[in-house]
Each structure stands twice: as structure tokens, then as C-alpha cells.
Amino acid sequence: MFSGSIPALVTPFRDGSFDEAAYRSFIDWQIEEGSSALVPCGTTGEAATQTFEEHFEVVRVCVDQAAGRVPVIAGCGSNDTKSAIKNLKKAKEMGATAGLVVPPYYNKPNQEGIYRHFEAIIGECDLPIVLYNVPSRTVSDIMVSTMERLRAFPTVIGIKDATGDLARVTEQRAACGNDFCQLSGNDDLALAFNAMGGVGCISVTANVAPRLCAEFQAAWAAGEIDKARQLHERLYQLHKAMFADASPGPAKYALTRVRPEFPGELRLPMTWPSEAARKHVDSALSHASLLKD
């Protein structure tokens, strides 16, 4: 269902509030530059700082502005099963194509608890689910055996894999089938992830360089391996720079460099990236030929 370059969208804030006009313009730019789907209200979108009402206003605006041109995968995760159910239902009501759902964070459930969390969500809402496995943030890992159990539910259609373990791609293909949509959650590993059987990336870098990220994914899909590698090498420093400080600080700073009209404001506890991180971003943008003279 999903493939290619899919930005995990940052959320623009101005004077503490969601800047709808900036977001609509940003979405149009993303689609025009070749992004194949959009993810509002993920970690990069500072979902953890938003109220339920704000969160789904952002989702609503994203769906409305996309207007069917590309799918929308709404962030819906929670460490509380009842809240995750509420989120998925609301995403469906707002017109999202699918929900991106992490296993419970902080609680650190065992594999049975992770399975039953998703089982309860699936039992209450039939919106397609893309699992999001990111143990570095959740401190819980959806093991392949658990993923295989979840794949038995028809609405579990894919995975955003941010484990950093490339062998998982092969293991998940064997357990979940070749039609299980595997998307990298790590920009710097996207080339290798695709080589192992992935079909795209839910990307931080695509916020800043959507056309290059889309061209990279398109080159790989077309079998143009040398071109894909060249684009990967052009983008690699930027992939690393996006995490030179706490994300999404570097991404928002980079956006103010390539789109000066974009508001770079962050919500606490996220803060403006350090001077060293900003210099890293500037260097990477220059390497990728993204800064205007």
C-alpha cells in the first residue's frame, strides 16, 4: 500500500500555536516535490507535546490539504491501550488512510502484553495499522514472533522499522510475507534496508530534501542502483545531521535555511539546536547542494 519517500512531518508552531497556513503550504511543497505519502503527528511532529484536540486538528488539516493526492498515515500510538484505541478511531474519522502505532512506551510490557495491546486496538477499529518499532524510544521491541502473530490480522499491513537491525527485514519477510510493507525508520540505512527487501522510508530528512529523497527511492525502485547510491551519498551527511541534536530541532533549523518562511519554533522540552549542531546542518545542506547562493 505504501512505498517511496514518506516524510514524518514536522509541525509548524508560531507563538505557541499550530500554524495551519504554514502547514498547508508545507504539505503542498512535499507533494509537489514527490513525497509518496505523509505522516502527521509522529515523533518528528512533536506529537508528545500536543493535546488530543491539537493532535487531530493537525491530522485533519493534513488530510484536507493532501486531498487524496497522497495517502496520510496518522500517528496514533499511546502507552495506554484505551487512548490508542481512541486515537485510531479519531484518525479514521479524520479520513486518514492508516494509523502509525508504536508498542506501549515506558510501561515496558512483555511480548504477550504488546500482542494484546494491538489485539485490543484492532478489535475496536478497522483502520489499517502500520506498526512502528523503535526500541530506542519505547524501550519495548516488537519481536518477529509477535509481529508474525499480529500479521494474522488483516488490518496490520506493514512496519516502520527503526530498530537499526537490517537482518530484521529478512526475518520479517519470512514471518509476515513478501506483501508485508516494510518501511525503514532510519534514513541512513534506507539504501541497505531496500536491498534487504524494504520498499521505502518514513523519513526525517525528507522534511528538508523531499525531492532528493523521492528521487533516491524512485531510482532504487527502477533498478537504477548506481543512481540510488549516488543520491544516498549526497544525502548521507544530512541524514546524520538531522540527529546532531535532539530531533526535530535540527530538521526545523534546516527548514528555516531552505524555506526561510517556515517557522522554526519548537515546544518544550524540545529546544533550538546547539551552535555545533547548526554548523553540522549547514555543512550537510551545502554538501547536498540545498543552500541557495
- Please tell me the distance from the alpha carbon of residue 32 to that of residue 224, in angstroms, as a whole number: 22
- 3-state SS of 93-128 is HCCCCEEEECCCCCCCCCHHHHHHHHHHHHHHCCCC
H or E element that contains 99: strand 98-101
> Which one of 86, 92, 160, 252 is the catalytic residue?
160
Residue 133's beta-bridge partner residues?
161
Q: Which of 190, 289, 206, 247 is nearest to 26 (CA)?
A: 206
Report the SS3 class of residue 163. Answer: coil
18 phi/psi in degrees, rounded to 5: -60, 125
> Which one of 23, 115, 132, 253 is the catalytic residue?
132
H or E element that contains 237: helix 225-241
Q: Which of 19, 8, 15 is nearest to 41 (CA)?
A: 8
- Annotation marks residue 132 as catalytic: yes
Residue 72's beta-bridge partner residues?
38
Active site residues: 132, 160
